[in-house]
Amino acid sequence: SAKIQALKKTINKADKKRKKEIAEEVTKLESELESRQNAELLQLKESNSQVDNTAVELDKLSTNENSVEKEEKTFPKVSKAQKRREKKSTKEKEREDLYSAVDHQRKMVGEVGLGLSRLRLLTADYLRQNRDEFLPFISHPETGNMLTEEQYYEYCDQVAGTPAWGGEVE
């Protein structure tokens, strides 16, 4: 179209022969432009139909995925008892991990690794030796009251002999 405009501007009104040649060339360029535009429109319509087909296929796939997700979500309901067992198992693993982390840190700073059971014994001994410092911070798990002296020593025995981890105190 810019070429057509440039040709039209070059027409000298006095030169009829040149005017006729330019008019023919302009007509030829316009018809070429129109045919090129029609071809592009046709190509665009074809690509749009392909896009539409692809969109329809994607919708079908997403519908299939949604139905698969719905099928996956229909797992049997986990009972409360099972949840409690899983929670207890997770806590025990975390307790082991905490003692393991302490042992690992000792090794990292160049000290000898003591092992989990030895660390538990040392922790329980330290708790026993410093009863007055720790007793106010440990409460009975069921009543929430401060432990008696006897209960405190039972607690220390649990720390030493089982994978129990009381919490922040240790």
Higher confidence at residue 17 or residue 169?
17
Question: Cβ distance 156 to 123 under 8 Å?
Answer: no
What are the counts of helices (DSSP H) followed by strands (DSSP E) for the chain? 6, 0
* Distance separating alpha carbons of residues 56 and 166, to the nearest angstrom: 59
For residue 71, what pLDDT is reported?
Answer: 53
* Distance separating alpha carbons of residues 100 and 69, to the nearest angstrom: 39
Average pLDDT of span 74-81: 73
* Distance separating alpha carbons of residues 92 and 88, to the nearest angstrom: 6
For residue 87, what pLDDT is reported?
Answer: 73
pLDDT digits (tens, 9 = 90+) for 90-133: 665 555 667 677 777 877 787 777 777 888 888 889 888 988 88
Specify the pTM.
0.41
Average pLDDT of span 17-44: 87
pLDDT digits (tens, 9 = 90+) for 37-70: 899 888 888 877 777 777 777 777 777 665 555 5
